[in-house]
Amino acid sequence: MIISDVKVYTVKPRWIFVKITTNNGFEGWGEMVSGTKTETVVAGAYEMSRRIIGRNPLEIEKLWQELYRVFFKGGPINMTIISGFEMALWDIKGKYYNAPVYELLGGSARDRIKVYSWIGGDRPSDVVDDARDRVNRGFDSIKMNATEELHYIDSFKKIDEVVERVAALRETFGMDLNIGIDFHGRVHKPMAKVLAKELESYRPMFLEEVVLSENQEAFKQVADHVTVPLATGERLYTRWEFKNILSSGHIDIIQPDVALTGGILETRKIIAMAEAYDIAAAPHAPYGPIALAATLQVDVCSPNVFIQEQSLGIHYNKGFDLLDFVENKEIFQYKDGFVGLPDKPGLGLIIDEEKVKEVAAEGLQWSNPNWKNYDGTKAEW
């Protein structure tokens, strides 16, 4: 069995799907992150595909090492391409052995997977109504963006507005609702310490990306101010970029992204490293159905994963939902804030390729907002 073909589809709202086919008819699906360089990722994927066509798709580790170990390693473009390929190869391998991927990674460590839903919250909005909608849909855990853009030193009025939104959730739902708060790397160290301290009394489930991951030394300063668990990791690639985070002891939850870290096995390795440091994991997965399905395979066999991000029901810019390209929609059926273990071979997905082709024909132009501070300087999004 050899890899005979690679196809890449750009799919609204912001997804890049890849399908790898073998000469004997096996098909595997993966997903890449579009970000702001969709055409670069697609072109790079086709260029890199020449290195795997004609190769044995079951030799995943060998292929991964050959794709990764070039002179200029890492980075979001290379790593998301490798991630998409790697997911698709595991999908093929699972189908070849007629087993879910997690069974090939040691088997299940749990009976079900806890999930949370995102509700926005960074701008003036009725977060209570959004949270109530999620509670009515069976979730007991949500994540909200904390704040709009913040300068290095900014108005305490903005801090008060964040606190008011979180306070409203606590007053309405009490401690029955778990609230993750995502600073999204928008907050610089001086205001991060202030905001984290102000939010501590509301007992958030975690504070995410309180500063950008490149400012890792600031995690200690925030951790010294609060006892709330701190989370980070969605912008880190491979286990080598997680080493200092894990050994520093200031981060309590890592959030590797299966579509950026190099795929399923690399994410599993990172989470296993975290377990050795008594650190929890809550993988980043706000994208499409393939990346989420791949992440669930990691969750099943990783005991320190305590909750999983997902975006079912969130339509970006009137785009498409997780389920719109999936024939077996029951794979993402949630009950009481949990999703069951996948039981079909490979990633467990049956992709509606005709729907994928139809939407891909419309093209994809996705870009993140270009935020500015009050004085015109560039703000983090």
CA distances from 252 to 139, 214, 307, 358 (A): 23, 17, 13, 43
From the CB of residue 105, how many other CB atoms can be counted at a distance below 10 Å? Answer: 17
Nearest Cα residue to 60 out of 279, 265, 221, 337: 265
CATH superfamily, region 102-346: Enolase-like C-terminal domain (3.20.20.120)
pTM of the model: 0.95
List, by residue range, all CATH 3.20.20.120 domains of the chain.
102-346
Residue type, 282: A
Q: Give the domain 3-100 fold.
A: Enolase-like; domain 1 (3.30.390)
Write b or e for each residue in 225-244: b if 16 or more Cβ atoms lie within 10 A of its Cβ, otherwise e: ebebbbbbbbbbbbbebbee
CB–CB of 225/195 below 8 Å? no
* Orientation angle between helical segments 189-199 and 156-173, nearest 10 degrees: 30
CB–CB of 19/353 below 8 Å? yes
CA distance 147 to 197: 15
What average pLDDT values come out for the chain (381 residues) when binned by 10 residues?
A: 97 93 98 86 95 98 96 90 98 98 98 94 86 94 94 95 96 97 95 97 98 93 96 94 94 98 98 98 95 98 97 66 91 93 97 94 81 91 82
Residues known to be catalytic: 184, 284
List, by residue range, all CATH 3.30.390.10 domains of the chain.
3-100
